Amino acid sequence: MACIHLIGFLLLAAHTIAGAVLYDKTSQSDDVTHMVNDRALVFLGNMMSCTTNRTFLETLVDFGFYGCYCGFGGFGKPVDGVDRCCQTHDKCYEATNLIEGGVCYLTITAYIAPYKYNLHQCDTEDAHITCAGIDKYYWYDFLPKCSVAICKCDRDLAMCIARQPFNKKNRFHNRLKCFGEDVKEQARP
- Pairing relation of β-strands 128-131 and 117-120? antiparallel
The confidence score (pLDDT) of residue 136 equals: 95
Q: From the annotation, which residues make up the binding site?
A: 69, 71, 73, 90
- Among left, alpha and beta (phi > 0; psi -120 to 50; other), residue 91 is alpha
In the predicted model, residues of the chain with pLDDT beneath 50 are 1-31, 33-38, 182-189
62 an active-site residue? no
The domain segmentation of the chain, as residue ranges, is 20-178
The confidence score (pLDDT) of residue 33 equals: 45
Helices (H) and strands (E) in the chain, counts: 7, 3
Identify the burial level of 30 via C-beta atoms within 10 angstroms of its C-beta, where 0-12 means exposed, 13-18 middle and 19 or more buried.
middle
The confidence score (pLDDT) of residue 21 equals: 39
Report the predicted TM-score, pTM, of the whole model to 2 decimal places.
Answer: 0.75
Catalytic residue of the set 34, 89, 141, 173 = 89
154 an active-site residue? yes
Pick the CATH number of 20-178 from 1.20.90.10, 1.10.10.1590, 3.30.200.20, 1.10.1060.10: 1.20.90.10
For residue 132, CA distances in Å to 22, 31, 66, 99, 160 come to: 14, 14, 29, 25, 19
Q: From the annotation, which residues make up the binding site for Ca(2+)?
A: 69, 71, 73, 90
